[in-house]
Structure 1
Amino acid sequence: MFWFWMLLRIVLTPILYLLWWPRNSGMENVPKKGPALLVSNHQSFADHFFGPLPLRRRIFFLGKAEYFTGTGIKGLISRAFFTGVGVVPVDRSGGKASEAALETGLQILKQGKLLGIYPEGTRAPDKRLYKGKTGVARLALKSRVPVIPMAMINTFDLMPAGQPYPRLGVRPGVRFGKPMDFSRYYGMEDDREVLRKVTDEIMQAIRELSGQEYVDRYAADVKAEMAGKAPRPADEDE
């Protein structure tokens, strides 16, 4: 689907800049070649567009397998779109599925590509930044590639959940921070305390870039409460 990605870039880039004039910064922190792990907050569906927008390199994201299981014309369009924008389907049900997702991410990085991941595990229910799942730390320590914090700006206001189209009059953007060095923890990816420490350090870097208020809870649990459902047991490796 490289051709579809190129088509989206050619068609959408001038439209996005013309209508929303995004504020972007820190692009020099993203390697021009070779693998890197880009870790971002997740405020909106619009993140898939405005996050990669200022980069010349393609970012591959790990995404819900459900994006690719639809049927009929709608399912076909969904699969084509998410594949085209670089989303790689993974099973996020936990357990062995988490290991498979980790291996998928490692394979993408071994190919020298940019891998994007949302440590919160889901879109935030509001403008705040939520606790990260430790799968991002395992991926960082096992891959031993540069970790680039990435902050989406104003995309929640631009296109909150349930909003079918992005709003005009909101100026979004993305900020890329300096690479983070976790070499002191290499070989310790099975230590849960280390994984939590690395994850929290990554979330702190994202918070400093985004300016968001931090909430020491999982976004999925908060969303479940808002929907009147009991949160399921947490699996930090998801």
Structure 2
Amino acid sequence: MKAQVYKDSRDQDYFDKFHERARTTEPNWVYEAVRVVTVLWGLIAFRMRGYHSERVPSDGAVILAPNHASFMDHFFAGAFIRRRVRFMAKSQLFSKPMEWIFSPGGVFPVRRGAFDEDAFVTTYSILERRGALVMYCEGGRSRTGRVSDRARPGIGRIALQSGAPVVPIAIYGSVRVRNWKRLQFPKVTILYGEPMRWEQIDRPTREQQQEVADAILGEIKTLYGELEQYGPKGVAERVRAERRAAKPAGVA
């Protein structure tokens, strides 16, 4: 895996146009085109399967919080829900020609290694317009393939200040997605958790932000542990059993 680059030497002004677009407009046809390609790629190459996607609210602001091990994770997280999902990407990716895809597709930049308040403003704008946002507790991609032990506080700040529900998501198998270059295609499984929500706080302390972020990460680790323990097939069987048990008597 290539070393992560945290500093972007370009001025903040360069990214103003991307934030403005994300704050004022919805993703256009580029989003749908990319979604079709990535979902088909996931289903065919990685035998992608998703469980309990009905736990994601069908309307209103929501934060989707998956673990992060692959560049495909934001596509995996949104593959089994009908809503358009937005996400922030490291600012280094916003250069031609990729910025012509990212910005129309609803992606906005974040300058890692800097206090990027613009990224937070854009995030709140999307949630205020009842949008769905993908945000990672761990910040960047895991370098070990394991879910991190400690979350970054940013997701806690956003959850508390916006009051939006957070859906924890475990993505299992994506750490090996990059192996497709060696013609190795791992099976990817996505397990959605129950929504979590906290009372809205205008100015949460750093400790409050961290506490919420750690709670979200704890749920992600629980879901991921379930996938590790039972395996994708075992989880599929458990989900089917839950659905059969939930059916009213006499319903086939």
TM-score by length of 1: 0.76
Structure 2: distance between partners of 1:191 and 1:12: 39
1:117-136 equivalences under 5 Å are 117-130=135-148, 131-136=150-155
**The residue matched to 1:129 in structure 2 has which SS?**
coil
Task: Report the Cα offset of residue 164 of structure 1.
Answer: 7.1
Question: How many residues matched?
Answer: 199
Given the superposition, is the C-alpha separation of residues 138 and 170 from structure 1 closer, same or farther in structure 2, using an over 3 Å criterion? same
- Deviation digits for residues 208-228 of structure 1 (CA, Å, limit 9, x no counterpart): 11129xxxxxxxxxxxxxxxx
Runs of 4+ in structure 1 deviating by more than 2 angstroms, as ranges, are 8-16, 80-87, 90-95, 163-169, 186-190
Q: Does 1:105 align with 2:119?
A: no
Q: Does 1:52 align with 2:78?
A: yes
2:54 to 28, 50, 57: 28
Given the superposition, is the C-alpha separation of residues 52 and 191 from structure 1 closer, same or farther in structure 2, using an over 3 Å criterion? same
Structure 1: distance between partners of 2:38 and 2:64: 22
Unmatched 5+ residue regions in structure 1? 213-238
Given the superposition, is the C-alpha separation of residues 22 and 187 from structure 1 closer, same or farther in structure 2, using an over 3 Å criterion? same
Structure 2: distance between partners of 1:173 and 1:26: 11
CA contact (8 A) 2:39 2:75 kept: no
Percent identity (aligned)? 30
2:194 to 178, 186, 203: 178
1:67-216 equivalences under 5 Å are 67-68=93-94, 70=95, 75-76=96-97, 78-83=98-103, 85-95=105-115, 97=116, 99-130=117-148, 131-159=150-178, 165=181, 167-183=183-199, 186-187=200-201, 189-211=203-225
CA contact (8 A) 1:36 1:145 kept: yes
Structure 2: distance between partners of 1:12 and 1:199: 29
2:42 match: 16
Larger RCO of the pair (alpha carbons < 8 Å, separation 6+): 1
**The residue matched to 2:54 in structure 1 has which SS?**
helix
1:217 match: none
TM-score by length of 2: 0.72
Task: Report the Cα offset of residue 84 of structure 1.
Answer: 5.3
2:63 match: 37
Given the superposition, is the C-alpha separation of residues 28 and 94 from structure 1 closer, same or farther in structure 2, using an over 3 Å criterion? same
**The residue matched to 1:128 in structure 2 has which SS?**
coil
